[in-house]
C-alpha cells in the first residue's frame, strides 16, 4: 500500500511537471513572452532556488510536529493554485501585455517555489519514516520508472498541444498550465490514504531558530559525509543551471518552432525511461552514491556533446535532451536516497533543512548563467559546467566517512 501511494503520487506529479518542464516548456514560454535570457535566468533562479533558501526555516518548523502530512498537502494545493493563476494570466494577457504576465510570474513562481519547499521536506521525511533503509533506492527507481512513463504521456500531450494549429500562443501555454493544476490535485489524492507514523519529537531538536543556526557548523564538522554531500550537490547545481539553456540555445542556433518543444521533451522523457533500468541496477547492485557519481560524470559530458553536435542541425540536437533525461532520472534515483542514508532519522527535518538552505549555488547560478550567455555566448558557460561537473565527480570518490542507520 505504501509503495502504491508513493508511485501514484510520483506518476501524476511527473505528468504535471511535464506541463512546465524546466528544460523545455518553461524556457520556451519565457522566450516567447519576452525573449530575455537575463529575465529567464532570474525566473529560473526563483523557481529552482527559493525552495532551498527556506528549507532550514521549514525544517525547523516541521521538527516540532509529530505528523507532517498536513504540511505536504498544504504545499501541494498551494502549488496547484500557482499553476491555475499562471494559466489565467497567460490566457488573459499573454498577447495583450506579455510583460504583465512575466511580472505576475514573479509572484506565482514564488508561491510555487515556497510551497514546493514545504511539500518537499514533508515528503522526504514521510518517505524516510515509511520506507526502510535498503529499500529506498529500489522504490525510488520503481517510482521513477512509473513516473517516466507518466511523464512520457505528459510529453505526448505537450507535443499534441503545440502541433494543433488552432491552439496558438498564448492558448497553448495556458492549456498546459491548467492541465498541470488538475494533475497536482489528482496526485494529492494518494496522501489522504497514508497512515503516517508519529515522529519522535525531543526538546533538543526543537531549539529556537537562532540557536539552530549556531549549531549548523558543529553539525557539519561532526558529519563529514553530510558536508561532502552538500559541497557536491552545490557543484552539481552547475548541471541543473545549464539544462534549460539547451532549449534556448536550440531556439537561437536553429530558430526552431514551438513544435520542437514537444519533440525535445519526448526525447528527454525517453532518456529518463531508458535509463531507469541502468539506475535501478546500479542502486541495487551497489548503492545510491554510485548513482550520484555516474550522474555527475554524465552531467559534465552533456555540454561538450551539445557543442560538438550543434552543427548537425536541430534534429540531431535532440540527443542532448535524451542525455538530459538520463541525468534527470538518475538524480531522482540517487541524490535523495543517498542523503537519507547518511543523516539521522530523529533529526531528519533539520538535516533536510540545512541541506536545502546551504545549497546556495542553485539560487545564484541561473542568473549568472543568463548574464554570461547574454554578453559572452554559450561556449564559456558550457565549458565551465563541464569542468565543474568532472571536479565534483572526483570529489565524491572514496568510502563514506560516516553514516547513520535511519
Residue 398 banded pLDDT, cuts 50, 70, 90? low
Overall number of domains in the chain: 1
CA angle 340, 10, 403 (to 5 degrees): 5
Classify residue 316: in a domain, yes or no.
Answer: yes
- Output the domain CATH number for residue 303: 1.20.1250.20
Classify residue 33: in a domain, yes or no.
Answer: yes
Classify residue 401: in a domain, yes or no.
Answer: no
d(CA 288, CA 138): 10
Classify residue 158: in a domain, yes or no.
Answer: yes
Instruction: Please tell me the predicted confidence (pLDDT) of residue 286.
Output: 83
**What global pTM score does this model have?**
0.78
d(CA 395, CA 356): 20
Give the residue carrying C-alpha cell 525566473: 43
Instruction: Please tell me the predicted confidence (pLDDT) of residue 357.
Output: 76
Classify residue 11: in a domain, yes or no.
Answer: yes
> 183 or 286: which carries more pLDDT confidence?
183
d(CA 26, CA 294): 27
Classify residue 403: in a domain, yes or no.
Answer: no
Chain centroid to CA 245: 15
Do residues 390 and 300 lie in contact, with contact meaning Cβ atoms separated by under 8 Å?
yes
Residue 395 has pLDDT above 50, yes or no: yes
Residue 279 has pLDDT above 60, yes or no: yes
Instruction: Please tell me the predicted confidence (pLDDT) of residue 285.
Output: 83
Classify residue 179: in a domain, yes or no.
Answer: yes
Continuous segment of H or E residues that includes residue 330: helix 318-342
d(CA 119, CA 215): 24
**Other beta carbons less than 10 A from residue 42's beta carbon:** 19
Grid coordinates given for 295: 550522474
Classify residue 238: in a domain, yes or no.
Answer: yes
Continuous segment of H or E residues that includes residue 34: none
Instruction: Please tell me the predicted confidence (pLDDT) of residue 312.
Output: 94
> Which residue range(s) make up the domain with 58?
2-395
Helix, strand or coil, per DSSP, at residue 287: coil
Amino acid at each position: 500500500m505504501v509503495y502504491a501511494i508513493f508511485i501514484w503520487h510520483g506518476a501524476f506529479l511527473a505528468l504535471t511537471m511535464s506541463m512546465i518542464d524546466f528544460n523545455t516548456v518553461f524556457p520556451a514560454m519565457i522566450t516567447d513572452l519576452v525573449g530575455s535570457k537575463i529575465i529567464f535566468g532570474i525566473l529560473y533562479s526563483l523557481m529552482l532556488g527559493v525552495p532551498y533558501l527556506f528549507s532550514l526555516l521549514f525544517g525547523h518548523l516541521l521538527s516540532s510536529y509529530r505528523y507532517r502530512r498536513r504540511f505536504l498537502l498544504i504545499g501541494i494545493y498551494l502549488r496547484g493554485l500557482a499553476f491555475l493563476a499562471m494559466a489565467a494570466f497567460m490566457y488573459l494577457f499573454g498577447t495583450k501585455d506579455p510583460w504583465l504576465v512575466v511580472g505576475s510570474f514573479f509572484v506565482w513562481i514564488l508561491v510555487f517555489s515556497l510551497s514546493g519547499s514545504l511539500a518537499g521536506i514533508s515528503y522526504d521525511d514521510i518517505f524516510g519514516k515509511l520506507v526502510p533503509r535498503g529499500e529506498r533506492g529500489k522504490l525510488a527507481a520503481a517510482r521513477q520508472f512509473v513516473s517516466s512513463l507518466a511523464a512520457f504521456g505528459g510529453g505526448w500531450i505537450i507535443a499534441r498541444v503545440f502541433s494543433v494549429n488552432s491552439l496558438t500562443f498564448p492558448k497553448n501555454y495556458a492549456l498546459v498550465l491548467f492541465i498541470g493544476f488538475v494533475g497536482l490535485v489528482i496526485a494529492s489524492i494518494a496522501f489522504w490514504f497514508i497512515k503516517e507514523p508519529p515522529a519522535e519529537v525531543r526538546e533538543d531538536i526543537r531549539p529556537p531558530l537562532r540557536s539552530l543556526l549556531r549549531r549548523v557548523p558543529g553539525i557539519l564538522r561532526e558529519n563529514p559525509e553530510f558536508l561532502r554531500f552538500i559541497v557536491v550537490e552545490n557543484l552539481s547545481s552547475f548541471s541543473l543551471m545549464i539544462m534549460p539553456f539547451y532549449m534556448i540555445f536550440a531556439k537561437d542556433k536553429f530558430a526552431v518552432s514551438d513544435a520542437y518543444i514537444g519533440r525535445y521533451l519526448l526525447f528527454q522523457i525517453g532518456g529518463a525511461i531508458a535509463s531507469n533500468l541502468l539506475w535501478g541496477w546500479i542502486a541495487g547492485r551497489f548503492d545510491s552514491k554510485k548513482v550520484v557519481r555516474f550522474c555527475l560524470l554524465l552531467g559534465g559530458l552533456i555540454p561538450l556533446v551539445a557543442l560538438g553536435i550543434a552543427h548537425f542541425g536541430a534534429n540531431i540536437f535532440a540527443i542532448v535532451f535524451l542525455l538530459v533525461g538520463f541525468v534527470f532520472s538518475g538524480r531522482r534515483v540517487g541524490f535523495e536516497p543517498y542523503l537519507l542514508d547518511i543523516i539521522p532519522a530523529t533529526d531528519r527535518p533539520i538535516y533536510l533543512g540545512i541541506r536545502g538552505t546551504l545549497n546556495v549555488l542553485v539560487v545564484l547560478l541561473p542568473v549568472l548563467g543568463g548574464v554570461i550567455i547574454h554578453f559572452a555566448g554559450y561556449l564559456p558557460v558550457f565549458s565551465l559546467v563541464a569542468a565543474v561537473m568532472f571536479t565534483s565527480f572526483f570529489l565524491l570518490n572514496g568510502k563514506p566517512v560516516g553514516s547513520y542507520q535511519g
